[in-house]
Amino acid sequence: MYIKDLFGNQKPVLSVEVFPPKPESPLDSVISTIEAVKDLNPDFISVTYGAGGSSRAYTVEIADMVKNKYGIETLAHLTCVGTGKDEVDDILAQLQSKNIENILALRGDRPQEGVAAKFDYTYAKDLISHIKAKGTFCIGAACYPEGHIECDSLDLDLRHLQQKVNSGADFLITQLFFDNELFYSFKERLNALGIHAPVSAGIMPVINKKQIERITNLCGASISPRLKKIMETYENEPEALKEAGIAYATEQIIDLLSSGVDGVHLYAMNRPEVAQKIFAAIKDVRGSCEHEHQLQ
């Protein structure tokens, strides 16, 4: 099923991301994650690449497992930097052969300096146009409530986003954020520009201070003062920080759901217990939102 139709048929759409292990590692950990997450009834599970595309060989295999073994809709990540058109077409053919209909089209990480890479595509919009021409897939794209770290301004980044949508992106998933007001302001800007593609809000629970600091430094997302205080208070108490981080993310999600968000995409970092606690905490809220949408 096309994910764009999920957004059309219900609200909110709740999804979870999993990522492959390193190429030399077995799939046991991600299989365990999927096994645990499937019982939460996510609307779809996205399957990312490893860092820098290091585990792309696993992406199709895991997406195939999610869709055809577990019967859950899946979203396969596909990056284009350093990937030639022939390789992209080969991956698309593999996905199509597995009846995988949804792709998150991304530029991807730039290769390290001195590393040879093929550049048939410059931006995500170029990859989106290529996939759209196939007429086979539903296409998701990334968006950035605070602007892309490499972009000079949020206004310029929004123009780039408009190009992605105009090129064929059917829905959007945001980069992680920790202040919902940033998301609401971002949505207002999208509406003002006439960008009406459904948007899933990307939420990452904080369970490790150093990990989140590293991720936010890489992607440019800001840490809210309230979350920063929580991280500083509990940084030497792992279990307390995990509990507080899950509670903070849960509060974010409940606020988003009560505000009529199109969807929530949970970056659970292959920690199924985190997803389980959050889905349990929002169970009644989720059910209420779905019921209200059906009545509309």
CATH number at residue 281: 3.20.20.220
Q: Is 272 domain-assigned?
A: yes
Q: Residue 82: what pLDDT? A: 75
* 136 domain residue, yes or no: yes
Q: Is the pLDDT of residue 113 over 70?
A: no
What's the mean pLDDT in 179-183? Answer: 98
Mean pLDDT of 149-164: 95
Give the pLDDT score at 162. Answer: 97
pLDDT at 83: 79
208 located within any domain: yes
Whether residue 293 lies inside any domain: the answer is no
230-261 per-position pLDDT tens digit: 999 999 999 999 999 999 999 999 999 999 99
At 122 the pLDDT is 81
* 3-state SS, one letter per residue, for 178-215: CCHHHHHHHHHHHHHHCCCCCEEEEECCCCCHHHHHHH
- Whole-model pTM? 0.93
Q: Kindly tell me if the per-residue pLDDT of 166 is higher than 90.
A: yes
202 φ, ψ (degrees, to nearest 5) = -85, 120
- Which pLDDT does position 111 carry in this prediction? 54
pLDDT average, residue stretch 204-209: 96
List phi, psi (to 5°) of 295. -80, -15
How far, rounded to the nearest angstrom, does the alpha carbon of residue 280 sit from its chain's CA centroid?
20
Is 194 contained in some domain? yes
d(CA 3, CA 73): 8
Q: List the structure tokens of 160.
A: 């780039």
The whole-number pLDDT of residue 3 equals 97
Please state the domain count of the chain. Answer: 1
Strands 138-143 and 199-203: unpaired
Tell me what pLDDT residue 112 has. Answer: 52
Structure tokens at 77: 């990540």
Residue 57, pLDDT > 80, answer no
Which one of 27-41, 115-129, 164-178 scores highest in mean pLDDT? 164-178
Domain extent for 74: 3-285
Q: Which has the closest alpha carbon to 4: 149, 184, 132?
A: 132
In a domain, 125, yes or no: yes
pLDDT of residue 25: 77
What contacts 16, CB < 8 A, 6 or more positions away?
A: 37, 40, 42, 45, 46, 265, 266, 268, 275
The predicted structure's pLDDT at residue 9: 86
Is there a domain that residue 195 lies in? yes
Is 17 a catalytic site residue? yes
Q: For position 115, what pLDDT does the model report?
A: 42
Q: Once rounded to an integer, what is the mean pLDDT over residues 34-51? A: 89
Express each pLDDT in 115-126 by its tens digit.
445 567 889 999
Tell me the average pLDDT across 97-125: 78
Least confident of 119-123, 147-151, 267-271: 119-123
pLDDT the model gives residue 294: 58
Split at pLDDT 50, 70, 90, the class of 27 is confident
Q: In angstroms, rounded to a whole number, what is the distance separating the alpha carbons of residues 238 and 246?
A: 12
Give the tokens for residue 132: 């759209």
